[in-house]
Amino acid sequence: MTKGALDGVKIVDLSRMAPGPFCSMMLGDMGADVIKVEAPPTSRIIASKIINDAETRKKAASNPLNRNKRSIVLDLKEKDGIKILHQLCQKADVFIEGFRPEVVTRLGCNYETIKEINPSIIYCSISGYGQTGPYKDLVGHDVNYISVGGALGLIGSKNGTPSIPYNLIADFAAGGMNAAYSIVCALFSRTNTGRGQKIDTSMSDGVTYLLSAISGEYFNSGLIPKPGQMTLNGGVPYYNVFECQDGKYISLGCIEPNFWKNLCSTLNLEQFASSQHNEHEYQLIMRELEATFKTKKRDEWWDIFREAEDVAAAPVYEFNEVLDDPHMKARNMFIEAGSVDGAVITQVGFGSKLTDTPGAVRNLGTIPGAHSENILREIGYSADEIKKMVDSEVVFT
């Protein structure tokens, strides 16, 4: 198998919620060796449901956030559990944690402690509001971070309440993806300086960072961006969504004048070809577009637009439709990642496509603690020592 871009990079992942696991999944997909350190309650819960149950194994294998990782369950409230974690960090390149500030201090794995063990380590903290500032100790979730970060106030209809998107913006983009990018930057820096460093990834910061273009417009004009009133959030006819005859939706992104003219020609609405930026006609244009799209089913319109010359349009898919889309199939965005107990496991493919060092699924997710014994043997523990720690519930297998 071709080596991944991050082959040889060792990661200790102490994170729990979506941002951290997605971050380490991205790094693992590119070849990093990820050791996922899990908490004992997870092991006990699964054990109570029969740890070797086929459905449990399939569920674990089907979760892409756990692929390309090895799992060890440690009780970090025990002295020996912390000792093992510190041993794992001795030869690690990256340490990832997703707790609120000060939690890692109580657990004995804050940056200062881990840095003393391994000065060259990249230590990445992923939190809602960051390690500093008046909100640093507040609890929250994606909807809170996109609120403070400024994204939620831009999403929704002109006269309605904000529309809550799925937790993609803060958790996965501003959190996990931003953290993975930061880690790779820090690894690159280390090749030049030989020094590790700490990364403070705040999801609310990341949300605001994603609003870079909007911030530029605001500082230039002084106008406060509002939901449903801007070019890119539903304020214009040429960049909008419309319901079709079958109740499904089609999206338009005809920003460029030639795209708009081509759309008008395709829909036999040439009278509006020169009115793209005439706000006085927007209500009339919207009514005409709404009526026109109601005359055909969504996929009929999609067939028409694909055959037309340069019309920026696309169907609004439900998730099961994404799986069947021929372009997504051609781009290998859903793959047979492996099998468990004879059942094929389908997972999302790889967002980044590197020609020489492509992403790969080397192993599927497993039940918590599946690799505990192997990992302990790698760092020098004997079979008797491992048995004693399992018996005393410092380690779970």
Classify burial at 132, counting beta carbons within 10 Å of its beta carbon; exposed 0-12, middle 13-18, buried 19 or more: exposed
Residue 349 contacts residue 325 (beta carbons within 8 Å): no
Q: Which residues contact 340 (CB under 8 A, 6 or more apart)?
A: 57, 58, 61, 364
Distance CA 318, CA 102 (A): 41
CA 23 to chain centre: 7
Residue 287 contacts residue 310 (beta carbons within 8 Å): no
Tokens in use for 312? Answer: 């920026």
Crossing angle of helices 203-210 and 212-221, in 10° steps, is 60
Assess whether 280 carries a catalytic annotation: no
**Antiparallel, parallel or unpaired: β 197-202 and 94-97:** unpaired
SS3 57: helix
Q: Strands (DSSP E) along the chain, which ranges?
A: 10-13, 33-38, 69-74, 94-97, 122-127, 197-202, 239-243, 249-253, 313-315, 334-340, 343-348, 395-396
Tokens in use for 214? Answer: 């909007």
Q: DSSP characters for 123-140?
A: EEEEESS-SSSTTTT---
Q: Is 39 left (phi over 0), alpha (psi -120 to 50) or beta?
A: beta
Distance CA 183, CA 96 (A): 9
Catalytic-role residue among 141, 200, 299, 325: 141
Tell me which residue has tokens 């081509």.
262
Catalytic-role residue among 29, 33, 93, 171: 171
Assess whether 141 carries a catalytic annotation: yes
Sheet (strand 33-38) strand order:
197-202, 122-127, 94-97, 10-13, 33-38, 69-74, 395-396
Catalytic residue numbers?
A: 141, 171
